[in-house]
Amino acid sequence: MTTIEIRSTVVLPAVREEIELHTSDGLTLVGELALPVGRPPVATLVTLHPLPTAGGFMDSHILRKAAWRLPELADLAVLRFNTRGTSSPRGTSDGAFGEGVDERLDVDAAMRFVGERGLPHPWLVGWSFGTELALKYGLSHEIDGAILLSPPLHRATDADLAAWAHAGVPLVALVPELDDFLRPAEARERFAVVPGADLVAVDGAKHLWVGETQTRRVLNEIVERVNPSRAPLPETYEAD
């Protein structure tokens, strides 16, 4: 056995499948599903990436590392995909950026895929622009909860937020102390319309969660909500 320190380039075992999602307006979106090896997942992360016009895509680093680590370390399925018009090494999804409006159909396609595959206990995990999609469209689907990373609350209105007040599912927001768009004090005011929201102010963090310390913090916060029996995550891995 070899002990490996889990760092940014480490890819742990998983069953990884290149998948396609099909939207109701006729587009094909490219993505990947990562599953635990030899056992069923206990829950599913449906990830929604940052703004594609600012470089966001399914391989944005927190989402990529979630897919590389959490199937093995936390028994989670991780679904990543490029929203319409977005490119990554996996490929380019059909269509063009829809300003967060047409992307409703992309979320629909992802959740339809989750249902067709029988993936259990889906949670939406949105980052930046992806949080807007989760807030605006997540409650149209059967989800166990939503986790928001660096929510800017640009496109999501107070009415969108208020809809979560009586939704009956957890809403978690990780807000960096030094965020470029929404910092903890303002976030507390905006999220006040959702009394049950779990707002976590992360000291020293920035919008992009750069560095292994911040990556571990984010992934641990996710696992604590979705499969707490596997938290905290180990920092080393025993490989054959």
Q: Report yes or no on whether pTM surpasses 0.95.
A: yes
For the purposes of burial, counting CB atoms within 10 Å of the CB of 82, is it exposed (0-12), middle (13-18) or buried (19 or more)?
Answer: buried
Residue whose pair of structure tokens reads 């020293």 in the numeric block? 204
How many domains is the chain partitioned into structurally? 1
For the purposes of burial, counting CB atoms within 10 Å of the CB of 25, is it exposed (0-12), middle (13-18) or buried (19 or more)?
Answer: middle
Closest by CA to 50, choosing from 172, 157, 133, is 133
Please state, in angstroms and rounded to a whole number, the distance separating the CA atoms of residues 101 and 7.
36
pLDDT at 240: 83
Q: Could you report how far apart the first and last alpha carbons of the chain are, in Å?
A: 5
Give residues with Cβ within 8 angstroms of 124, minimum separation 6: 46, 48, 134, 138, 143, 145, 146, 147
Block means of pLDDT (10 residues each) for the chain, 240 residues, are 94 98 98 98 99 98 98 98 97 98 98 98 98 98 98 96 96 98 98 97 98 97 98 95
For the beta carbon of residue 58, count every other beta carbon within 10 angstroms.
Answer: 27
CB 155 within 8 A of CB 97: no
* Boundaries of domain holding 54: 2-239
CATH number at residue 146: 3.40.50.1820
